[in-house]
Structures are given as C-alpha cells and as structure tokens.
Amino acid sequence: MSHKAGFVNIIGNPNVGKSTLMNAFIGEKLSIITSKAQTTRHRILGIVNGDDFQVLFSDTPGIIKPAYELQESMMGFVKSAFEDADILLYMVEIGEQELKDEAFFKKIKNSKIPVLLLLNKIDKSDQQQLETQVQLWSEKVPNAEIFPISALEGFNVKEVFNRIVELLPESPAFYPKDQLTDKPERFFINESIREKILMHYKKEIPYAVEIETEEFFEEENIIRIRSVIMVERETQKGIIIGHKGSALKRVGVEARKDLEKFFGKQIHLELYVKVNKNWRSKQNQLKRFGYNS
C-alpha cells in the first residue's frame, strides 16, 4: 500500500488563528490560545495519523519584527518553517490587508511548494465582504489556493485537511503512528501555566514570565507536578503571587483543570515564583528554556 507523509507549516500574522486551526486538526489542545499576540513562542509539531498518511503540522509564532533576544529566536522558528515544509498554510484573517513583513510576503509568492491561503474568521464576515477578500487575496498571491474558513467553528477545516492529504508527497511515516507531538509532557505543563498567566495578568507581566517544570511524578491515580514561574524582577514576583497568594492560586487551579483533561488523570500542581534577572535578554537562559538550538 502506498503511504504519504509530509510537513505542513502554518504561518501568518499574530492572532489570525494559527494555533486554533492546528488544535482543530489535531483534535487536542496542543497549542495554547489567547487573544494576545506572541502567545506561541516555540514551533510546535502536531501529528495527524491515518492508515496511509501522516501529516506533521507546525504551529509557529506570529510574524513580528524582533525587539529583543527572545523574539529573535521566535522568528528563527518561523524561518525554519519555510525551509523544511512540503506544504505552506498561509493564514490571514478577514479584513487583514497584508503581511507586515515584506520579505516573508515575497517568499510566499515565490514559493516552490504548494501554498494554501486560509482566509480565517469568516464567521465574522458577510457574503459581500468575503467575496471582496477572496478577490483581493487571489490577486495578491496568485500561486495560492484560497480557502475561506472558520478555525473556531470548524467551517471548511475538513476540506482543507483533505486537500492537504491530496498534496502530500509519497513517503513513509516520520514518527510512530501513535505519537501526537514531538514535545515532551513537561512542555504542555509549562504552556498551560503560561496560558493562564497570559489570561490573568496585564501589560508586560506575561512577557516577562517563563515556566520550568522541576518535578513530574506519575503515580497510579495521580500525577504530582512542581513548576516554577520565573520572572525578571522582584516587583513582578509580588504581582504574580497577588494578595495573600490569591492570584497565583487562581493560575494553579485553572492550569490543573486543563492538565487533568490533557492527561486524563488527577493532578497535584504546586507552583512557586522565582526571580531570574532579565532572562529574556540572556543567551544562556534562552538556551536553557529551549529557544536556541
């Protein structure tokens, strides 16, 4: 029996819905989603297996102009997404004009591999606007096949998936067929905690935070986890903890609920906060958190 497999990379501006789409394809919450830009910091692989195919999706951080070391590294993940893909999913949202980065836009237009342009969030548009946008994008990126979709409501997601499978090259599987992702369990723990911090704290706080899971003990009926929330300054530590520990407690409770769903087991989650001065600007610290190869 012939077998198809390949890498499919999802790129686009921040907040257009890339992580929502990847989770819709996978059927699991692999990639965290919030309404804030820069929610996704790493390149995350999501695997969909069939009897005769394997699709390897990469969710990437949105395209931005790097302002500090962490962002430089994030854009490295986006660049690598161009280099090893078999199919590109270029996602835009209804009403968006064009990619902020001219160089990326050129790469997409000159792409040697198939490009599917996904016009997302059409649940927010009417027929008239939709037609205008499809026309606009077909002129801007003539090499792309255009799919209007709603990643959130699942509209046309199946059709896009079927087209992807059609376009996949003949190849054996790259990963075992029961594998969902290339990231270790600790990664998802860290990301669940970071998602709650993105949701509940304002301004700079979420961007100054990194999570490290120090302990992961799986017992028969429970998983015991201890994670540290790293911040850059003493003042941020106080904010994370909140009045009598109330803010931190909320993060812990909500993250635990998500993790119980993800692992299908009872979770005991212990969180504490530590100051790690200016980690975002230090190469060695970024390496430790997996941002540089």
Q: What are the C-alpha distances in Å from 286 to residues 214, 260, 261, 283?
A: 17, 29, 29, 5
Which lies closer to ligand GDP via its Cβ, residue 158 or residue 177? 158
- List 11, 29, 57, 62, residue binding ligand GDP (CB under 6 A): 62
Nearest to 71 by CA among 286, 254, 293: 286
117 touches ligand GDP (CB under 6 A)? no
8 Å CB contact between 231 and 275: yes
Which lies closer to ligand GDP via its Cβ, residue 4 or residue 196? 196
Q: How far is the CB of 204 from Mg ion (least distance, A)?
A: 19
Which of K ion, ligand GDP, Mg ion, none lies near 87, with the C-beta cut-off 5 to 8 A by kind?
none
Q: How many residues bind Mg ion (CB under 5 A)?
A: 4
* Contact pattern for Mg ion over residues 17 through 46, marking x by CB under 5 A: -xx-------------------xx------
8 Å CB contact between 47 and 58: no
213 touches K ion (CB under 5 A)? no
For residue 96, count other CB atoms closer than 10 A to its CB: 19
Pairing state between β 266-275 and 44-49 = unpaired
60 touches ligand GDP (CB under 6 A)? no
Distance CA 91, CA 21 (A): 10
Which lies closer to Mg ion via its Cβ, residue 19 or residue 236? 19
Report, in angstroms and rounded to the nearest whole number, the Rg of the chain calculated over CA atoms: 20
- List 13, 23, 31, 39, residue binding K ion (CB under 5 A): 39
- List 52, 72, 84, 124, residue binding ligand GDP (CB under 6 A): 124
Distance CA 69, CA 260 (A): 34
Q: Which of residues 126-185 bind ligand GDP (CB under 6 A)?
A: 150-152
8 Å CB contact between 278 and 284: no
Residues in contact with ligand GDP by CB under 6 A are: 14-20, 33-35, 39-40, 62, 120-121, 123-124, 150-152
